[in-house]
Amino acid sequence: MINNQFKKGELYSFITGKASTAIARRLQKNFKEAGIEITIEQWSVLYHLWKEDGQSQQQLCEATFRDKPSITRLVDNLEKSKLVKRVASKNDRRSNLIFLTKEGKNLEPKTMEVANRTLNEALEGVTNGQIEIAKEVLQMVYDNLK
């Protein structure tokens, strides 16, 4: 049992994820400055499609840790922006497969460069050892709760 290790204020900060909010805002700002016209949430979908194109919405739910309505609407907006398109699956007619358009594919290198750069800004002055432990803790939290 863990007790009282969080002083007031620290509990708040840990629960509300001020650090990840700060990263998201900076990433959005850096996208904008680089002329990349997507939201962070849309980026999170594209990120997984760049790794593997043609995933179903359900797969994208699991990959991005979002629910089905969220993915429906993110895909709606990505389709409006002509970055992806829905293709009905031939094996399972309930299922949509999401494919990147040419434009969606073209976005990858610039966007990933900005994401990597943003993370470097975020982690300025943090040692590799500290980062490893932070990653472990965040993974354990995620596994405890997901």
Partner DNA sequence: ATCATATAGTTGTTTATGCAACTATACAAA
Partner DNA sequence: TTTGTATAGTTGCATAAACAACTATATGAT
Would you tell me which residues interact with a second copy (CB under 8 A)? 1-3, 5-6, 8-27, 40, 44, 47-48, 51, 64-65, 115-116, 118-126, 128, 130-131, 133-142, 144-146
Kind and range of the H or E element at 111? helix 108-122
Compare residues 24 and 95 and give the one whose CB is closer to a second copy.
Answer: 24
Q: Return the residue of 75, 84, 100, 107 that touches DNA, per CB under 7 A.
A: 75
Interaction between residue 9 and DNA (CB under 7 A)? no
Asked if residue 84 lies in contact with residue 104, where contact means CB atoms within 8 angstroms, the answer is: yes
Q: CA–CA separation, 141 vs 146, rounded Å?
A: 8
Is residue 82 at the binding interface for DNA, with CB under 7 A as the rule? no
Q: At 96, which helix (H) or strand (E)? A: strand 96-100
